[in-house]
Structure 1
Amino acid sequence: MPEEGESRKRFLRQLGIGLLAGIVGLAATYVCSDVLLLFGVSLGWPVIIAIGVGVFLFAFMIAAAVMTHGWLRVLSIVMIPVTLLATAVRANAIYGEYQTMGSLFDYSPYPHISTLDLSLNTISVREWNEQAVAKSRNTTQIPQSGKLVHVDIPNPKSGFKAREALVWLPPAAFAKHPPKLPVMVMFAGQPGSPTRFFTASNAIEVLGRFAAEHHGLAPIVVSPDQNTAATRNSLCADTTKWGKAETYLAQDVPDWIKANLPVNDKASQWTIGGFSQGGTCATQLAPNHPNIYGNVLAVDGEVAPTEGSVDHMVEAYFSGDKAAYERQVPQNAIRNNAPSKQLMILGAGARDGESVDNIRKIGDTARENGWTVFRFAVSNWGHDWHAVNAVFAVALPYLCERMGLGNENVQFPTDSEVKEIS
């Protein structure tokens, strides 16, 4: 019996150490996330709690490994890395960031665009649909699904040192006489990469489903690099710190797309969007370049480009020129280029209160200055790719109809997890 009592005391000590460590870990994570904002945005309570529980289990297993003997010690040592892995997997499941082992290492197995034989001898979407109904050879000899390829987009005007871009092409793009297709330029967040937009989101699945139901028609989606590296934030602006990102995204990228892909070059046929920092880029670039991007699809974006304090950004990025920074703030860009007939679709995870507040502010300013605005909150999710996926699936049919690919008089759903907010 004394031995049993000693075992109970030992377990309680282990439990106490784990609980104390878990509380400290929970508090430290909250302070880093929501007080110091070390990650730029709040991690959200589901992630903060997951980390707190992970720290508790980690400390408990270490204490057990020190205080026990025999098979219990061996089991505790084995459970230490298992606990770390389980915590990481849980946090990733909440964010939905890494869907495969390849995406964890930013692996891009896709062929280069030079391996494709794309024609620029285009026809109109109306002509394409007429040929599809008539089952012409031009529309039947296309692949059953779209293709994802990579490409180095040149930078003659900007000199911006971008990483490789990824391009998704719908089946119709491979016809001998393809239709003039609309374009979506989409960004992942930061940290992130062009590959991340496709590997973390459900975009290819949603686009493929739309194409299968519309004679192979869907937008061409290009995910260029807006930051030069995963850990950098270019602010999507022309700066002295990381180069001319804005010139690259508003001139070099569109110029390459128009010269090399079967696209419609009207601004009303072009959408720019993204997640988190990528969403911020979209809401600042579209109003500053209404002749390029007629539509916006942004999720969980910030109310202003952010990398430290405003004073820090003004000095480090704009050589002390505050007006140059202010021009990049979405609400300022909207007002400076008003009035506009552009479209803005904004989304946010309902658990990400700051992002919900951001889309209200930006949306209000856009609506006041002539934009058509839709705003959505996604139930049960926060600042994560689950919110992106839900908004993308709802927004794509509407955008496609606006850009001439559908004729269903699309209505946004009223009974799903994606709720329109005023």
Structure 2
Amino acid sequence: MGTRSAAGRLGIAAGAAGVVVLVATVVVALSVTTGLVQPDEAVPPMSLPLLSAPMAAGAADAASPLPETWRPPADLPSTGSFGSVRIPATVSGFSARDAEVYLPPAALVPDAPALPFVLMMMGQPGDPDAGPIASVLDAFAAAHNGLAPIVLVADQLGDPDVDSLCLNTAEYGQVETYLERDVLDWARGNLNIQTGRDSWTVAGFSNGGQCALSLALRYPEVWGSLIDASGTAYAGLETEPDVLADVFGGDQAAYDATKPATLLGERRYPDTTAVFTVGSEDSEMEPGLKDLSGTAKAAGVAVTYYEVPGEGHSLEALDGGLTRAFGVLASRLGLG
């Protein structure tokens, strides 16, 4: 990874303290834009529990909330674990880097229950790093008898130096298809997850926040909840003239049609819950995200907007935002 120098588009790769995972090598670099120490970690492959059968899309989840039926065993691990996985791009052909999976303590025991599912994307430049969300969800699990969502952190970039726009384009490949078909097909076939949309959350930070918001709006039948942490207002915001010319051939209407504000103006989302979070000192992201949260509320979305006090575009803003978001979503996910 090395030093990050793209302000407002940080890909955070700080590992989570206390998470059960072996790290092969660590090379530390200091980010000149954030002051964060960012370790370059070789994350080993995740050994996943075997499923008796793949999860079918739309299958019914348990009738009773997990806290009413779950009895944690005496040997429940105190923390979860995360590791890397390879997801075949069978449908899309998109050249993605390895994803990472986080399994909470309740997923690491025999006869583990099916758990809510989170798909997350990180920033650009950056890596599909499960460390930050693993740290937050380990704390969540500690307060919920080991229960927390299973998380798949996928690569929406391919090349960390390129903003793929989270769309299907000739320039950058079939990114949207990769995330909504290849990644989700893999998740259903390999993770012990619940399948109802109320149990599914799409989340992201910075570039990944924009991607998460766009997917939630384009596929509301899939995603019941959204976490947009310090996300850009729309794809290609920082290089809009080039994106308009190179990707959309100068067609402003076609470009505008992909933007979240446009999508929110075209339909209502009465059964979508969204948590928008941003550092209170993040002058680049805060205005657009605050406006989008208001637009989403007007479109029927159940919106929570939260500014992490005193933070900019940083690991601390992501940590505080995710902590607030899962506190808000715990009941909807059947975990609190």
CA separation of 1:259 and 1:155: change in aligned 2, threshold 3 A: same
Structure 1 CA distance for aligned equivalents of residues 297 and 193 of structure 2: 29
Q: State whether residues 65 and 335 of structure 2, in contact with CA within 8 Å, keep that contact through their aligned partners in structure 1.
A: no
Structure 2 CA distance for aligned equivalents of residues 310 and 404 of structure 1: 40
CA separation of 1:118 and 1:222: change in aligned 2, threshold 3 A: same
Correspondent of 2:105 among 171, 188, 201: 171
The yes-or-no answer on 1:271 pairing with 2:205 is no
Q: Secondary structure at the match of 2:247?
A: helix
1:21-60 CA-to-partner distances (Å, cap 9, x unmatched) read xxxxxxxxxxxxxxxxx946499xxxxxxxxxxxxxxxxx
1:72-104 CA-to-partner distances (Å, cap 9, x unmatched) read xxxxxxxxxxxxxxxx74746x45361xxxx2x
The yes-or-no answer on 1:335 pairing with 2:265 is yes
Q: Secondary structure at the match of 2:304?
A: strand
Which residue pairs with 2:116 in the alignment?
A: 182
Correspondent of 1:298 among 224, 228, 231: 228
CA separation of 1:165 and 1:290: change in aligned 2, threshold 3 A: same
TM-score (norm 1): 0.67
Return the offset for 1:398: 2.1
Segment of structure 1 superposing worse, 216-225 or 172-181: 172-181
Q: Secondary structure at the match of 1:393?
A: helix
Correspondent of 2:136 among 195, 206, 218: 206
Q: Secondary structure at the match of 2:284?
A: helix
1:296-346 CA-to-partner distances (Å, cap 9, x unmatched) read 111221111126543421332244554442232111122234243211111
Q: State whether residues 282 and 296 of structure 1, in contact with CA within 8 Å, keep that contact through their aligned partners in structure 2.
A: yes
Structure 1 CA distance for aligned equivalents of residues 313 and 109 of structure 2: 39
CA separation of 1:370 and 1:176: change in aligned 2, threshold 3 A: same
Q: Secondary structure at the match of 1:353?
A: coil
Q: Using CA pairs below 8 Å that are at least 6 residues apart, which structure has the higher relative contact order?
A: 2
Q: State whether residues 119 and 176 of structure 1, in contact with CA within 8 Å, keep that contact through their aligned partners in structure 2.
A: no
More strand by percentage: 2
How many residues matched? 308
The yes-or-no answer on 1:401 pairing with 2:321 is no
Structure 2 CA distance for aligned equivalents of residues 330 and 359 of structure 1: 11
Q: Secondary structure at the match of 2:286?
A: helix
What is the RMSD of the two structures over their aligned residues, measured on CA atoms? Answer: 2.7
Correspondent of 2:81 among 118, 130, 147: 147
Segment of structure 1 superposing worse, 332-341 or 222-231: 332-341
| Long gaps (5+) in structure 2 | 11-28, 56-60
Which residue pairs with 1:124 in the alignment?
A: 62
Q: What is the letter of the counterpart of residue 43 of structure 2?
A: P
Q: Secondary structure at the match of 1:185?
A: strand
Structure 2 CA distance for aligned equivalents of residues 42 and 142 of structure 1: 38
CA separation of 1:301 and 1:42: change in aligned 2, threshold 3 A: closer
TM-score (norm 2): 0.82
Q: What is the letter of the counterpart of residue 221 of structure 2?
A: N
Return the offset for 1:127: 7.6
1:341-360 CA-to-partner distances (Å, cap 9, x unmatched) read 21111111111223221122
The yes-or-no answer on 1:233 pairing with 2:163 is yes
Structure 2 CA distance for aligned equivalents of residues 348 and 218 of structure 1: 23
Q: State whether residues 124 and 163 of structure 2, in contact with CA within 8 Å, keep that contact through their aligned partners in structure 1.
A: yes
- Identity within the alignment, %: 32
Correspondent of 2:92 among 133, 158, 164: 158
Q: State whether residues 120 and 178 of structure 1, in contact with CA within 8 Å, keep that contact through their aligned partners in structure 2.
A: no
Return the offset for 1:231: 0.6
Structure 1 CA distance for aligned equivalents of residues 109 and 255 of structure 2: 44
Q: What is the letter of the counterpart of residue 89 of structure 2?
A: N
| Long gaps (5+) in structure 1 | 1-37, 44-87, 407-422
Return the offset for 1:150: 1.0
Q: State whether residues 339 and 370 of structure 1, in contact with CA within 8 Å, keep that contact through their aligned partners in structure 2.
A: yes
Return the offset for 1:120: 4.4
Q: What is the letter of the counterpart of residue 165 of structure 1?
A: A
More helix by percentage: 1
Which residue pairs with 1:391 in the alignment?
A: 321
Structure 2 CA distance for aligned equivalents of residues 386 and 328 of structure 1: 30
Structure 2 CA distance for aligned equivalents of residues 305 and 331 of structure 1: 11
